[in-house]
Amino acid sequence: MLPCQRALFDIPRDVAWLNAAAWSPLPLAVQAAGHAGVARKGRPWEVDPGLSAAQHERARRAAAALIGASGEDVALIPSVSYGVATAGKIFVPPPGSRVLVLEDDHASPVLEWMARAPAQGFVVETVARPSDGDWTAAVEAAIARPGAPPVSLASISSVHWSDGGVIDLGRVAPMLRAAGAALLVDATHAAGVMPIDVAVIDPDFLIFPTYKWVLGPYGRAFIYIAKRRQDGVPLEQTPFGRRAVSSERSPYLADLAYAPTARRFDMGERDHFVGLEMAAVGMEMMAGWGQAAIAARCAMLNDRLEAGLAAAGAILPRRALRAPHILCAAFPGGMPADLPERLAALNAFAAPRLGRLRISPHVYNDEEDVDRFVDAFRRVARRAA
């Protein structure tokens, strides 16, 4: 099993940060990359003219490696919502069709389609939260609902952000393809930690940011765009999105045809000395440890958490239906409103999410963190009782 990587982070021993699903601490190496980037911007006359292009491709390759993609099929973007807006400009659901989203899913893969539906004539259908916690079966039932209008798109998270429930894309994606529907995956809580192979799943779009599980900064994200969707119009009109627009050559607007590959969809101001290298370093660390090893470590920690929290009265989801790295605790009488704050006062950190306590360990956590968290939980629960 992957050993604890705490020594690579700046985390005090008395802090139990079990909140990677909100944001992760930056590894020391990622912090160093950020400091170096800031220093470059401070002395721009020393910057190698080829640095930006090298950073673009390094980050693109690092993101692609986590999802089984080719770098040329990945675009550099600032956020998941930007990626979904890009997808919304490329793919227009036909009038009268259904776009499937998940109840209480994060706003990013949902709001774009809600905003577009009235003018474009399609319907956004919400897949209700399943009472048994089986999101995969619920999505399958929605796709196959008898007498319903055709599904044109499912815009879904592969791991539900609020409860850790998993959607089995290996089951859902073939159903969508058979129905002639597209698939957009918000892989925020899966990339780097759960197995993703776009060659197998074959999504039309798959998006993830760096500030949570892949140990990077805010403001950096990536979108995989299937080759069949790469002839679309980008969200922004940039010189590098065209074949030949260069401030160093004349004529300036030499060839306005769009550039090939997913690179045409790169965000404006992509030359981010600081964030891109930080993102690349974090993703390369994740790839070095390996997805399976990371998942195994997180699963071990959550198994230990399950035992302690269940004994303290928490209601926990079925292990087979949740992600190995996220554990959401519910409560018979509802979660006490001040539970997260009381835990934080004891240096035990998790996130309140829609009436549950979302706990999310990562490679920097160990058994001592788990035991410290469970002890804090018991003490706070006793006070609440």
Say which residue the tokens 């969508």 belong to: 176
pLDDT of residue 29: 98
Asked if 158 and 169 touch (Cβ cutoff 8 Å), the reply is: yes
Q: What is the pLDDT along the chain (385 residues), one digit of tens a residue?
A: 899 999 999 999 999 999 999 999 999 999 999 999 999 999 999 999 999 999 999 999 999 999 999 999 999 999 999 999 999 999 999 999 999 999 999 999 999 999 999 999 999 999 999 999 999 999 999 999 999 999 999 999 999 999 999 999 999 999 999 999 999 999 999 999 999 999 999 999 999 999 999 999 999 999 999 999 999 999 999 999 999 998 888 999 998 999 999 999 999 999 988 999 999 999 999 999 999 999 999 999 999 999 999 999 899 999 999 999 999 999 988 888 899 999 999 999 999 999 999 999 999 999 999 999 999 999 998 776 5
Rg (CA), the chain: 22
CA torsion through residues 268, 269, 271, 275, sign = negative
279 vs 231: CA distance, rounded Å:
27
- Give the 3-state secondary structure of residue 245: strand
Which pLDDT score is estimated for 289? Answer: 98
Question: What's residue 384's pLDDT?
Answer: 64
Distance between CA atoms of 226 and 331, rounded to whole angstroms? 42
In whole angstroms, give the CA distance from residue 330 to residue 317: 9
Give, in order, the Cα–Cα distances in Å from 8 to each of 24, 211, 248, 364. 13, 17, 42, 8
Q: What is the pTM of this model?
A: 0.97
- Looking at residue 42, its pLDDT comes to 92
pLDDT at 328: 96
Which segments within 292-343 are labelled E, that is strand? 327-329
Spatial neighbors of 363 by CB under 8 A, at least 6 apart, are: 2, 4, 5, 289, 294, 297, 298
